[in-house]
Structure 1
């Protein structure tokens, strides 16, 4: 619902507030009281602002106001041009929506009839012009996730426009039964962002994103509706803004102008509600001024116990969207779309045990070759010495001396053996594909099919190459001449290998490092498709 109110922290609270009814008449009501419009008789109650109502803050009404408004007259059966209004679908402060028949094309449409203000006021003319301009702006948006506007016109001084009739429901209706599945939330979010990105490229800001304005069409397609509050660079008013308080960006409650970033804030609140079944904060206060002040200072409250079905990275994305500072939100929709794609859940089907085992063996063998090269000079010192003496000329010891020095230096190369598993772990931590995973087109994901976080990748890489770590420490101890320590370390790599791999023979068919970290080794289906193409 939309009415005209003025947020002004500097204004004093009044015992009564001047209110502009949607019919255009000015009404003064006591703060917290109620009454009827003298012109149209519409009931007005200045009570606590409903968190899902749409309001418009204008320049001519006191700041102590909050409101409620009744429905207008039912115009079912009337004709607007070649549209016959059949039944009322809903209403708000801006007008009512009807199911109608387009008699020229014999198809059913939705017709939104907008309420006009006082006809003799300059405000009314600008108001009607703005509504028509914004309807035309929406009509230019040819996008599968935007409700299509078919016709824009007037009935006397009341603007109306016809748009596609959608079966629904809205997402606002769906979440009455509880939060949506995260797969659906991501899918809907991607569609909304695609629509907003398209609108942004045409210089259009929606201004009232909320679950009630997101309508489901056929085949799970989501449509963004109600651009009646949208703003363009040409029509954005300098004296007021519109929106729904619980979803409105905090800067709009002051002197901020609608922008892509303010739409992102509303989207963040909407996605939070779709994910958790509730809004991210509670707005306190009984008057509009108190509610606006509360809204600017309230903090987002995430669930204390994070749902297992939702990746933790989702928290970071929502936090960025709902940042109080517009500069901390996404600078454009392209970056937001990128992050949404990265969080899109992927079906998790573990690759076969044989494939994973062979890939693991290939990776161990690759890095094991480097360990062997560092270990050989120390292990075969006697054989190398005998081989060098074969090149020594009678009576000439210089060659033997220099080759002996070289051999002793090479024998100490084993000291650097731990660098091999360190490099292997670093490659895993970076998320790069190893030889084994490349050959079998495998990738590492979490339970949601998303890339592992940096911390989990670090611990998984250390545990996966624990065998290499054990062998490298034994080689270093041998190279340094710590024979007793080398004896103790000798069986460590075999023991670690058994502990790590034996759990893969269990019911879950997962190695120890995957069990502890919660990771999955899956087929990279996208890479397979690309190779097949």
Structure 2
């Protein structure tokens, strides 16, 4: 790990270490060329010889510097020296995990989060990619705008070489290293919304009756968490049902409608 003020890559000076991961270190840096703060994800020195780790970061960097969506973190550059790294925009705000830790969210705010995530997931899917790690820690909320981050395990649809994602959020077919499609991200989206409403991670086999029958939003979240991917709604259907939730009076959204709203 690089120390405060050190040059972690040419032209990038460390402000702080944001995360020390199993494959990459993530830094808050000063980008001298752009004269601004940025985020730098760099392969750890002890993993730099592993082709799979390096390739995953290159895929993430290529996606984020090529694709552009209002709810997707923006990539600036993909570096190769001295170690592979991705330069990302700094997204001020709080992670959704931090907001949920502060209290369960109202149905309207939960639906707003879900609608924006459905938008960016649909965009990724139309470009032939799956995120495969949708969870509150990978969502940043900035004045009501939701930004999806961390495409570190993004993959094309099809059979996985190994299990990827985060336990409790990953779809069963994903956790088993099986064949995955857009339905895997729908499961991650449902797990994220479950946590917004209940303040608890759903786990691998949640009791769907906790939310089912408690309003259109609860029914939707339960449907997204179905074990069988063929029974989960499509991202397009999720978006449509969330639009209906947002258009409905509070009393029709669910029993949690009056819970805490986002702090602005």
2:242 is the alignment partner of 1:335: no
SS in 2 for 1:161: strand
What is the alpha-carbon distance in structure 1 between the residues aligned to residue 154 and residue 98 of structure 2? Answer: 23
SS in 2 for 1:151: strand
2:189 is the alignment partner of 1:267: yes
Aligned to 2:260: none
Which residues of 2 match residues 460-479 of structure 1 at below 5 A? none
Aligned to 2:154: 230
Q: CA deviation at 1:87?
A: 1.2
What is the alpha-carbon distance in structure 2 between the residues aligned to residue 193 and residue 304 of structure 1? Answer: 20
Aligned to 2:65: 139
SS in 2 for 1:133: helix
> Deviation digits for residues 501-527 of structure 1, max 9, x if unmatched?
xxxxxxxxxxxxxxxxxxxxxxxxxxx
Bigger radius of gyration: 1
2:122 is the alignment partner of 1:194: no
Aligned to 1:155: 81
2:228 is the alignment partner of 1:325: yes
> Deviation digits for residues 227-276 of structure 1, max 9, x if unmatched?
1111135xx78421311001011112224133211111111111001011
Q: CA deviation at 1:449?
A: 7.4
Contact 2:211 2:219 (8 Å CA) reproduced: no
Contact 2:24 2:44 (8 Å CA) reproduced: yes
2:23 is the alignment partner of 1:125: no
Aligned to 1:91: 20
What is the aligned residue count?
Answer: 253
Which residues of 2 match residues 364-383 of structure 1 at below 5 A? none
Q: CA deviation at 1:189?
A: 0.6
SS in 2 for 1:267: helix
Contact 1:183 1:345 (8 Å CA) reproduced: no
Contact 1:205 1:259 (8 Å CA) reproduced: yes
Q: CA deviation at 1:116?
A: 5.6
What is the alpha-carbon distance in structure 2 between the residues aligned to residue 202 and residue 149 of structure 1? Answer: 17
Aligned to 1:221: 145
Aligned to 1:315: 218
2:144 is the alignment partner of 1:251: no
Q: Decide whether aligned partners of structure 1 residues 175 and 200 sit closer, same or farther in structure 2, where only a CA change above 3 A counts.
A: same
SS in 2 for 1:195: helix
Q: Which runs of 4+ in 1 moved over 4 A?
A: 116-120
Q: Decide whether aligned partners of structure 1 residues 314 and 305 sit closer, same or farther in structure 2, where only a CA change above 3 A counts.
A: closer
Q: Decide whether aligned partners of structure 1 residues 106 and 131 sit closer, same or farther in structure 2, where only a CA change above 3 A counts.
A: same
> Deviation digits for residues 331-354 of structure 1, max 9, x if unmatched?
x322221111111144x5xxxxxx
Q: CA deviation at 1:125?
A: 2.5
2:96 is the alignment partner of 1:171: yes
What is the alpha-carbon distance in structure 1 between the residues aligned to residue 150 and residue 211 of structure 2? Answer: 34
Which residues of 2 match residues 345-360 of structure 1 at below 5 A? 345-346=247-248, 348=249
Which runs of no fewer than 5 residues in structure 1 stay unpaired? 1-72, 282-294, 349-445, 451-533
Q: CA deviation at 1:117?
A: 5.6
Contact 1:117 1:127 (8 Å CA) reproduced: no
Give the TM-score of the pair, scaled to structure 2: 0.86
State which of 200, 208, 216 in structure 1 corresponds to 2:133.
208
> Deviation digits for residues 446-477 of structure 1, max 9, x if unmatched?
72479xxxxxxxxxxxxxxxxxxxxxxxxxxx
What is the alpha-carbon distance in structure 1 between the residues aligned to residue 129 and residue 178 of structure 2? Answer: 16
What is the alpha-carbon distance in structure 2 between the residues aligned to residue 179 and residue 173 of structure 1? Answer: 11
Aligned to 1:53: none
Aligned to 1:26: none
- Root-mean-square deviation over aligned CA pairs: 2.5
Q: CA deviation at 1:148?
A: 0.4
Aligned to 1:507: none
> Deviation digits for residues 105-150 of structure 1, max 9, x if unmatched?
2111111122266666xxx224312320232012222100001011
What is the alpha-carbon distance in structure 2 between the residues aligned to residue 113 and residue 76 of structure 1? Answer: 16
Contact 1:85 1:100 (8 Å CA) reproduced: yes
2:42 is the alignment partner of 1:113: yes
> Deviation digits for residues 11-70 of structure 1, max 9, x if unmatched?
xxxxxxxxxxxxxxxxxxxxxxxxxxxxxxxxxxxxxxxxxxxxxxxxxxxxxxxxxxxx
Contact 2:78 2:87 (8 Å CA) reproduced: yes
What is the alpha-carbon distance in structure 2 between the residues aligned to residue 304 and residue 321 of structure 1? Answer: 12
